[in-house]
Structure 1
């Protein structure tokens, strides 16, 4: 079986790479011999990280666009199915993306698949808020052309029509390693101080400035309470302007927090699969995570780590509400006192997060079942 996957992979965003890794794992649980071709902006990086074939997205404006279209068309024709996503692949606007965003590109990919008679299925996809009526109509067309539609949340599903199925974030299907409780990790390390991790991404200047003040005030309070912390970089921004979390670390936290590792640090041949369990085990060692990055937050919850999510976008808020953790999500306009109070409440509620980890596991089974059913339906 030959599987095509089209999405925003290869830009050194750990959340996106976890999504691709998990989808590949879901497919291989159905067919161990499946082969893959991934369409992305950075195919060389994708091939190195995931050990799959990769091709450039069939964009129209880049150098060599005509040849790229032909290569992509042939690669799509050789696939038994083309998955769109997972992730927030449908965007009309973002801080770094002008209108009409990605919709024409993905509509063209769907058209190429139909021409090649290759079935298409969005899987674990999200739609960024702020779309236009024209964009909503195009999403309906994409939904009508798909053999199955698996969406991350109900709001995204509403754009595609009644056949859309909410399967949650595909990362929920990631196998989680057995880990020690944070207290045991601290004891083994000889530390009596509880540890937290902070994940923060670059944001629009006005939003970022206020949030940095609030986070700084919260960290001062946590440290006064006896906590020690690390900064958790999730994205390095390869060919993606304004996406390198280390910029935030250097500007705001380099003197007060340590810098945690990331499986994408090693660019000399280590696959993501070979490094991911170590990162997850380290993440499980924290007693508290505070994060703007969606997958820093949801992976921590999957491990049962008390977590506060800062919802810079709707997807972060929706994920925590769906997991029954609505009281532990705050907006980017949160003040330092409220953030500290919420963080303290989360750290004092480990049972709620153990229950939420169970909900993540159950939702992950739904995502795996969607992939299984879609592949078995091809016959």
Structure 2
């Protein structure tokens, strides 16, 4: 079976690469010999990380766009199934996109798949907030054109209608190695991403003050860089580290540094993450993977998707807004660190949701493969 996957992969965002790795793994649980072609912004990088065939996304305003359209059409026709997602692929606006964002491109991909006779489904997708009535109409049409609609959360489901199925974040399906949660002392990790200037300044002040206070109390700390902004403006977490945390926290390693194959490097990264007794995170997948392995976590909800994920996991009390003050962040962090049992229960909910997502993919692949 040949499966096409369309998403924002190859920009050196660890969360996105984990989503792609998780989806490929889910498909291969059903079809061990499945082959893949991934349509993405940075095909060479995706091929390097995941060892799959790749094609550029069919954007119209790029050098060689007409040749790309032909290559994409040919690749879609070779697939027995085309999957949109996972991740927040549907965006009308973002710091890097003007209206109408990605929606016309995905509508065009749907049309190309229909012409090729290739069935389309969404898997673990999200819709970025700030949409318009026009965007909602386009999303309804996209949903109606799919043989199955699997979405990340209830809010996204409302954009697609009653046929949408909430399957959760595909990262919940990530196979977790046997992790050593042995006591390594009081250790915390911080994930912080670039934000709009009106939010970033105050949040940096609050997080650095909280981290400094934890250090004074005997905690050791590391900074988790989750994204490096390959081809994406304002996405390099190392900028934040250099600006605010270089003299306060050690810089953690990343599975994307190229020194090892992704699968092995990811396993070691998860093992390192498991040695923490606390994680503070703006990056969604830093927070979700910490919860998945039972690490007490405070999520800084810079976007609705972070808020929705923690509410769905029963962790609302450990959510803070991006304009949080240092004292509130510190109190929430220490409360989370003292709630280990609550996070062990949340890890079980993550595993249960992962089984739902795997079941969705399994049923889809069996039906069409």
Are the equivalent residues in 1 in contact too, given 2:189–2:224 (CA < 8 A)? yes
The residue number in structure 2 matching 1:292 is 282
Q: After the TM superposition, which residues 152-231 of structure 1 pair with which residues of structure 2 at under 5 Å, given as runs?
A: 152-183=152-183, 186=184, 193-231=185-223
Are the equivalent residues in 2 in contact too, given 1:120–1:146 (CA < 8 A)? yes
Q: Is the partner of 2:199 in helix, strand or coil?
A: helix
Give 5+ residue unaligned stretches, structure 2.
none
Are the equivalent residues in 2 in contact too, given 1:51–1:271 (CA < 8 A)? no
Distance, in Å, in 2 between the alignment partners of 1:277 and 1:228 is 22
Would you say how many aligned residue pairs link Structure 1 and Structure 2?
369
Identify the match of residue 312 of structure 1 among 294, 298, 302.
Answer: 302
Distance, in Å, in 2 between the alignment partners of 1:213 and 1:378 is 52
How far off is 1:180 after superposition? 1.7
Are the equivalent residues in 1 in contact too, given 2:192–2:283 (CA < 8 A)? yes
How far off is 1:228 after superposition? 1.3
Is the counterpart of residue 343 in structure 1 residue 333 in structure 2?
yes
The residue number in structure 1 matching 2:84 is 84
How far off is 1:274 after superposition? 2.5
The residue number in structure 2 matching 1:280 is 270
Q: Is the partner of 1:149 in helix, strand or coil?
A: strand
Identify the match of residue 361 of structure 1 among 342, 351, 368.
Answer: 351
Cα RMSD for the two superposed structures: 0.8
How far off is 1:182 after superposition? 4.6
Q: Is the partner of 2:322 in helix, strand or coil?
A: coil
Runs of 4+ in 1 over 2 A off after TM superposition: none
1:142-197 Cα shifts (integer Å, max 9, x gaps)? 000000000000000111111100000000000111112251xx2xxxxxx41100
The residue number in structure 2 matching 1:190 is none
Identify the match of residue 258 of structure 1 among 250, 263, 267.
Answer: 250
Are the equivalent residues in 1 in contact too, given 2:212–2:248 (CA < 8 A)? no
1:253-273 Cα shifts (integer Å, max 9, x gaps)? 00110000110012x6x3311
Are the equivalent residues in 2 in contact too, given 1:172–1:360 (CA < 8 A)? yes
Distance, in Å, in 2 between the alignment partners of 1:150 and 1:336 is 38
Distance, in Å, in 2 between the alignment partners of 1:272 and 1:28 is 17
Are the equivalent residues in 2 in contact too, given 1:182–1:286 (CA < 8 A)? no
How far off is 1:218 after superposition? 0.9
The residue number in structure 1 matching 2:30 is 30
Are the equivalent residues in 2 in contact too, given 1:37–1:55 (CA < 8 A)? yes
Are the equivalent residues in 2 in contact too, given 1:48–1:271 (CA < 8 A)? no
Distance, in Å, in 1 between the alignment partners of 2:194 and 2:121 is 32
Distance, in Å, in 2 between the alignment partners of 1:73 and 1:98 is 26
Q: Is the partner of 1:79 in helix, strand or coil?
A: coil
Q: Is the partner of 1:377 in helix, strand or coil?
A: helix
Q: After the TM superposition, which residues 9-88 of structure 1 pair with which residues of structure 2 at under 5 Å, given as runs?
A: 9-88=9-88
1:280-338 Cα shifts (integer Å, max 9, x gaps)? 00000111000000000000000000000000000001000100111001000111000
Distance, in Å, in 2 between the alignment partners of 1:148 and 1:241 is 33
Give 5+ residue unaligned stretches, structure 1.
187-192
